[in-house]
Structure 1
Amino acid sequence: MTTTQKPSTLFWIIGIVLLLWNLMGASAFIVDNFFTDMIANAYNEEQMAAINATPFWSKILYGISTIGGLLAAILLLARKVGAVRIYAISLIAIIIHTVYNIGFANAMELFGVGAGLIFPLIIILLAIFEYWWSKYSASKGWLK
């Protein structure tokens, strides 16, 4: 039997920020994949062609990373240790999806250094932090 400790205020603040971040990610996934007409005006013809040519497996990884991150954030706030595993799966999906976009789909050429390289790398860093924070929270006894 494991005992759970009362989480710190920082746990709740970070948990809420992570929930909001992952809500934005899940929203982006839904819009990018199910409401492409809404984003068509934001991109040029070449960019839209690349978006429409994205392989199905890459879209699946995008979904796993964003929806998984949202589920993990909810589990974290519910103080469930399952958040650690879901954050790990989300992180792996993000890394594979990003490597494809940067290395094989010419994201930097199509979208520029900011959107094609820097922002995806920031997303990976945040996903690493989410995974670490969930493991740290579990080690502190805040998750059951």
Structure 2
Amino acid sequence: MTEVGKTPWHLWVVGGLSLLWNAFPAVDFTLTNLQNDFWLSQYNEEQRAFFLGTAAWANACWALGGFGSFIGSLLLLLRSRHAVPAFLASAIGLAGVSYYQLVQNGETLKRLFGQAPLYTTPVIWAVLLALIFYARAMQARGVLR
């Protein structure tokens, strides 16, 4: 495992777990924007209106963030160097969504969802930054081509 380019066992673990983790925002974005009744049934009318009334630019950021990470995880498992830019694109999307939710609509979000977004957002950022650093390290070691 010390050979440059050989796939370390932890790439499969990190890639697999990140794929599962990052499947959620892709599914969430898709089902919310398709206005799937089952998916939206967990929210009251005011919460639904908040999600469905998201500004177009923030919705685009949500798509970029969610799908960027999901694709980044797939590319990590495929040992592609393009995993790094996919995760970086996801960070741009997450920055936009974080701004929209926490800065522009922080009071509304707090009223509708309580303190949860204030705790989940930093966790999402921590996981994404860890994936960016991990993918860059694997690229530097020649594992990602």
Question: Does TM, scored on the shorter chain, surpass 0.5?
Answer: yes
CA shift at 1:24, angstroms? 1.9
Report the equivalent of 1:80. 80
Q: Could you say if the C-alpha distance between residues 79 and 4 of structure 1 is closer, same or farther in structure 2, counting changes exceeding 3 Å?
A: farther
Question: C-alpha offsets along residues 22-70 of structure 1, whole Å, 9 cap, x if unaligned?
Answer: 1122111111211342334322222122222211111111111111111
Q: What percentage of aligned pairs have identical amino acids? A: 26
Moved more, 6-15 or 46-55: 46-55
Maintained 8 Å contact 1:95/1:124:
no
Equivalent residue number for residue 113 of structure 2: 111
Report the TM-score when normalising by structure 2. 0.89
In structure 2, stretches of 5+ residues that fail to align are none
Aligned partners of 2:113, 2:91: CA distance in 1, in Å?
23
Verify the 8 A CA contact 1:107 1:117 in the aligned structure 2. no
Structure 1 residue runs of 4 or more that deviate by more than 3 Å after TM superposition: none
- Alpha carbons of structure 1 residues 46 and 35: separation in structure 2 relative to 1, 3 Å: closer
**Aligned positions, number:** 141
In angstroms, what is the RMSD of aligned CA positions? Answer: 1.6
Q: 1:25 to 1:52 in 2, by over 3 A?
A: closer
Query: Which residues in structure 2 correspond to 1:1-144 (within 5 Å)?
Result: 5-105=5-105, 106-114=108-116, 116-144=117-145
Q: Shift in Å at residue 17 of structure 1? A: 0.5
CA deviation string 1:75-134 (max 9, x = no partner): 1111110110111010111022112101112322211111x2211221111111111111
Quick check: 2:33–2:52 contact (8 Å CA) kept in 1?
A: no
Q: Which amino acid aligns with 2:142?
A: G
The structure-2 alpha-carbon separation of the partners of 1:77 and 1:86, relative to structure 1 and needing over 3 Å to count, comes to same
